[in-house]
Amino acid sequence: MLRRLASEPRIAVDTESNSLYAYRERVCLLQVSIPGADFLVDPLASLELSEMRSIFANPSIEKVLHASEYDVICLRRDFGFQLANLFDTMWAARILGWPRVGLADILRERFGATLDKRWQRYNWGKRPLPADALSYARLDTHYLLRLRDMQMKELEKLDRFEEAQEVFSDLARSEAAPRDEADAGNSFWRVKGAYDLEPAGRAVLRELYLYREGEARRLDRPPFKVIGDRTLVALAESRPTRLEHLRQAPGMTEAQIERHGHRVLHAVARGKQARPPQAPPRGWLDPAVADRYERLREWRKGVAASRGVDTDVVIGNAALMTLARRNPHDLTALEGIDGLGPWRRRTYGEAILEVLRT
């Protein structure tokens, strides 16, 4: 396989992970297709995957993926792969203004192929993998090279390939946000409803969150499969003192009470004794920045409508907010803004500056 991949001008790539079944997800299957062959590589077997690193980093071999950001992050995290020369068929479809950009829709409409949705949430960490699961995984890359060629012709015809290349280059640099184990005590603020609790409830929520993280790590399960966020917030609000009180919390099952009940009550008791945590700032915006941001959004909305694409195809929200905060006054000041590469600066730069001037 390595010999064949090294001699190809482009390869199609996809991954399958176990994010719904493990505390720390990992890539459990790697699919690679070339004309005439589909390969399924098992990262859970004793294979030296580092030998693939040079293929992924080789700029003369184009890597074709669909919705690549997550795959790029996973491949970098688990194997240290750096993807040079990327082509993303989902983003190509978005730039071209295709009405449906999901892989299942595209395969059905363009190739008459059907992806079995039963396998979308499958535990890819199981072994052995059923034959039907392997067939599903193979289809994820089997048509990508033909799809890429189809899209390439359209991109060149509409003079959109340079725009696409700029997006692909950004995607190839995707990285996961660092996970700070030392700051786990503040991660509970990401739970929906945390800011709505009174101070005493926030202290309890923090202890419940830490308990759930520890259990999820010990059991190697996603935290939401231990106790859901909605249940944590409800417990932080009611602050129960007895096992029978736990039954009143939404989503708290009898099995969970039997498994976690006493330790949940201990976590609630610790939270009651703890000092309420100070809420981090929620991103207050200067009114002038907010006004510039809204004006840029309106401009972007008009451009997207005229092109028949989603608004973030024009410019992403993060880049728009950076523009609103910095309020640049000339084209040179637009340089160095993430998500605003040479093509976007050349195409939209003057219009952006005009919006900011007014």
As beta bridge partners, residue 65 has 88
Question: Mean per-residue pLDDT for 61-72?
Answer: 98
Q: Please state, as a whole number, how many other Cβ atoms lie within 10 Å of the Cβ of residue 110.
A: 15
Q: Where are the domains of the chain?
A: 2-172, 181-273, 287-357
Residues 122, 124, 128, CA angle at the centre, nearest 5°?
Answer: 110
Give the pLDDT of residue 183: 66
Give the pLDDT of residue 46: 87
Q: Which helix or strand (DSSP H or E) is residue 210 part of?
A: helix 199-219
CA 230, 233, 237, 240 torsion-angle sign? positive
Give the pLDDT of residue 160: 97
287-357: CATH topology is DNA polymerase; domain 1 (1.10.150)
Question: Mean per-residue pLDDT for 55-75?
Answer: 97
Give the pLDDT of residue 236: 97
Least-confidence region, from 111-125, 126-140, 280-294: 280-294
Rounded Cα–Cα distance for residues 152 and 346 (Å): 22
Half-sphere exposure of 15 (CA within 13 A, CB side): 24
DSSP 8-state assignment for residue 19: T
pLDDT classification of 117: cutoffs 50, 70, 90: confident
Question: Mean per-residue pLDDT for 97-101?
Answer: 97
Cα dist from 47 to 2, 40, 124, 127, 232, whole Å: 12, 12, 17, 16, 41
pLDDT surpasses 80 at 6: yes
Give the pLDDT of residue 108: 97
Give the pLDDT of residue 176: 78
**What architecture (CATH level 2) is domain 181-273?**
Orthogonal Bundle (1.10)
Q: What is the mean pLDDT of the chain?
A: 95
DSSP 8-state assignment for residue 7: T
Question: Mean per-residue pLDDT for 288-293?
Answer: 95
Instruction: Give per-residue pLDDT as tens, 179-199.
Output: 655 566 789 999 999 999 999
Give the pLDDT of residue 141: 98
2-172: CATH topology is Nucleotidyltransferase; domain 5 (3.30.420)
pLDDT classification of 134: cutoffs 50, 70, 90: very high
Question: Mean per-residue pLDDT for 97-124?
Answer: 95
Fold agreement (181-273, 287-357): yes
How big, in percent rounded to 5, are the helix, strand and coil portions of the chain?
A: 60, 10, 35
Cα dist from 31 to 1, 144, 161, 300, whole Å: 12, 11, 26, 37
Instruction: Give per-residue pLDDT as tens, 169-182.
Output: 999 999 877 665 55
Question: Mean per-residue pLDDT for 224-244?
Answer: 97
Instruction: Give per-residue pLDDT as tens, 7-51.
Output: 999 999 999 999 999 999 999 999 999 999 999 999 999 888 999
Give the pLDDT of residue 182: 52
